[in-house]
Chains A and B, each alone.
Chain A
């Protein structure tokens, strides 16, 4: 596609349920990133993929959070046993190479609300 696509755009779930958020990066981009933006907060890094590998997953807040990327393309962020503090906008970004010279292209985000 022309840009980074994320789905769902909005998700409301009950505490304790699992959720999956999907990111479809720009075709040909090898690097993919997940960030979290809580209300009034900046962007918090979660995980970085280069191809299908995740060389940096240091930002995942707990073992309830996991992510995978298959075929060097689509990525899924899974949150198990959701808690109210997980409510946030989850942003996905991709870049051509993942080097420090590249700009990140962001999707519009998936807004997660945990009741």
Chain B
């Protein structure tokens, strides 16, 4: 069975601080995909990134960066110079070959960025 653990339930930072959201996953699949989604107060989940298990290169997109390490089964997400608009719930998810199309989500981390 696959599992995603986001140990941080809530994080509060002050604007312009950097913040890292942790994600640890469990899977027996050799081929799998990892995702991050953002859920703003409006409720609609927004796709941020997809990473396949064969690509361990870190990725940077503007203020967002992701650190994928298979050795520790982690896929951490860092926001640099956080802004108030980054306040949301962030979900990490995994999809594997045995998932019949579905994503398995972590419990989510609520990020509050204060001005």
Contact = CB atoms under 8 A, between A and B. Distances in A.
Interface residues of A, number: 28
A103 B103 CA distance: 9
A45 interface: yes
Nearest to A44: B105
Nearest to A50: B101
Contacts of A50: 101
B30 interface: no
B100 A42 contact: no
Contacts, number: 66
Interface in B60-115: 91, 93, 95-97, 99-108
A35 to B, nearest CB: 8
B13 interface: no
A99 B43 contact: no
A95 B100 CA distance: 13
Contacts of B104: 45
Given A89-B43, A109-B43, A100 B105 contact: no
Given A42-B91, A42-B108, A103-B35, A98 B44 contact: no
Contact of B100 (A43, A55, A107, A109): A55
